[in-house]
Chain A
């Protein structure tokens, strides 16, 4: 058994192919690309701190979903104690009116396809 060389060459070729998207973006000069998200104007803050929302908005939405659907609780309070409705379409999209330039842009960049939009409707899309 002396296929050591072959195995190493094979591994290198495999890694190069797997990492193709990275090389491609580097070559295109897009390595440091970060999607630019449209932040609502005139609104100071979200229901929770921005850092928290960036990391945990999906958990918060899951939690809202369970509160509304399973427990029949529709209202909660935001970081400043203001009462808000636990609603993706009314509360979230109420401020982030441009779903395309906020939700989608980041999800597309990360290759994530949340199933929220299978049922929930962006009010702008139906008009």
Chain B
């Protein structure tokens, strides 16, 4: 029998009252006196208070990203933070964020006379944290679900039965399965983040564990070109909204109605 969380808290007495966590900071917003400086979005707020948003989204500025040809800092940082294993056999591969050829990422948009540097470019792709995620709809155990408060498509590795229906349902190929025990294939295990077991599906979770302690997603932090911008779409003052208003942006497979929340400035 699981104990009731409320009971647990009650049992600890009313002393808890004084300890209710401080009001969360609204990232890039002006709703709080602890407002974060909007001019340097890539530097994480370091006070440790959770970053809270109503609809997280990310903008990939390909103009800046493609400038750093062959750079994979975002991939390396993400995979290091999350104990993502490296397999030599592509069949067993696991990736949370990776660089996909432009034609693969946007293959309904490509044509052979595209600008040369775009045609042969590789663009960062990851879970799109769709507004209507097809993976969530098909999961038979709610092991993957969309978090109501901020729209992150989450994964519960304790609950996943490994049926891989979500992988069949994802139109972006953003999900990976642990075909083998990942531990022996992780270069350097960070004990602050769990590894996974064989037999479960995993993917990017917008670094929910870092947002909870006031840090930006690790790919955003690692990008030296500052090409990745993370923020709250519901906040009219956020940098992501400003970028969307200023630039023409595209999304992957918009026609499917999944409403991806990763936007690309071409």
Contacts and interface: CB of A to CB of B under 8 A. Distances in A.
Interface in B153-198: 154, 156-158, 188-192, 194-197
Q: How large is the interface on B (under 10, 10 to 19, 20 to 34, 35 or more residues)?
A: 20 to 34
Given A60-B8, A63-B8, A89-B191, A74 B212 contact: yes
Specify the main secondary structure of chain B where it touches its partner.
Answer: loop
B194 A120 contact: yes
A60 B3 contact: yes
Nearest to A74: B212
Contacts of A120: 194
A50 interface: no
A121 B8 contact: no
B91 interface: no
Nearest to B83: A121
Contacts of B12: 76-81
Interface residues of A, number: 33
Interface stretch (B14-22, B92-100, B225-233): B14-22
Nearest to B16: A77
Interface string A67-83: 10110101111111111
B15 A80 contact: yes
B208 A72 contact: yes
A77 B15 contact: yes
Nearest 8 Cβ contacts at the A-B interface: A81-B15, A123-B191, A119-B194, A118-B197, A121-B191, A77-B16, A126-B189, A77-B12
B5 interface: yes
